[in-house]
Amino acid sequence: MSPFSLAGQTALVTGANTGIGQAIAVAMGRAGAHVICAGRSSCDETTGLIDKAEALKLDFADPMAAEDVFAGRQIDILVNNAGIIRRDDSVDFSQADWDDVMDVNLKAVFFTCQAFAKAALPRGHGKIINIASLLSFQGGIRVPSYTASKHGVAGLTKIMANEWAAKGINVNAIAPGYIETNNTEALRADADRNKAILDRIPAGRWGKADDIAETAVFLAAPASNYIHGAVLNVDGGWLAR
């Protein structure tokens, strides 16, 4: 079997209704996985694009929402993709914008990984892929809770890899660069910011959700079995600049 195949595996992707999560779910389906498309919004469009798929309602407004999802059935791959961003000057940033982002982007990621691990550790295998960000490495501007949460995702990816690598679970993250999705609509609509961003990307273009999706398939597949605790930049070269 190809080391890039996901045949016979079940993957759960959060935030699978749109953007990067939808592309990851579809790519994993194409690679042969049965895909559980999880979201707070309907994932019907995504399940319609995949041969073997099902939808699951998950809203991380409650960061413990996935607590009981993994017990009682075999889920081999977890992709923590759901995420939100709030913009304001740090001097004005509200507690609500802090808490909402930290709950979805960090607390929910940790406790979803924990729930997955409780089921996967006894089996001795599993793959976790967290979606980090360039702001796992850089500060950004006017997005303090997002930056804090994504630095946190990189750190959690490493600690969980340290604890679970020898027990058969790979924990890795992808740090997407600037990708064309709802998340970046405001940036692309601002002609000055759009130009400044494009001028800095060595590849000379915004990323596509599929650029991230194929990397996620690699990190879920046997080809990456010796990769643990990595935060892989998929950024058109941004961080190399």
Which positions touch ligand NAP (CB under 6 A)? 14-15, 17-21, 39-41, 58-61, 81-84, 104, 131, 133, 176, 178-179, 181-184
> In whole angstroms, how close is the CB of 43 to ligand NAP at the nearest point?
8
Helices (H) and strands (E) in the chain, counts: 8, 7
> In whole angstroms, how close is the CB of 19 to ligand NAP at the nearest point?
2
Has 146 been annotated as catalytic?
yes
| C-beta of 140 vs 168, nearer to ligand NAP | 140
Contacts of 171 (CB under 8 A, 6+ apart): 113, 128, 130, 157, 160, 161, 164, 165, 228, 229
Burial, 194: exposed, middle or buried (Cβ in 10 Å; 0-12, 13-18, 19+)?
middle
> In whole angstroms, how close is the CB of 99 to ligand NAP at the nearest point?
12
| C-beta of 14 vs 47, nearer to ligand NAP | 14
Among candidate residues 153, 188, 223, 168, the one with its CA nearest the CA of residue 5:
223
Contacts of 200 (CB under 8 A, 6+ apart): 238, 241
> In whole angstroms, how close is the CB of 168 to ligand NAP at the nearest point?
26
| C-beta of 32 vs 36, nearer to ligand NAP | 36
| C-beta of 120 vs 179, nearer to ligand NAP | 179
- Which residues are known to be catalytic? 146
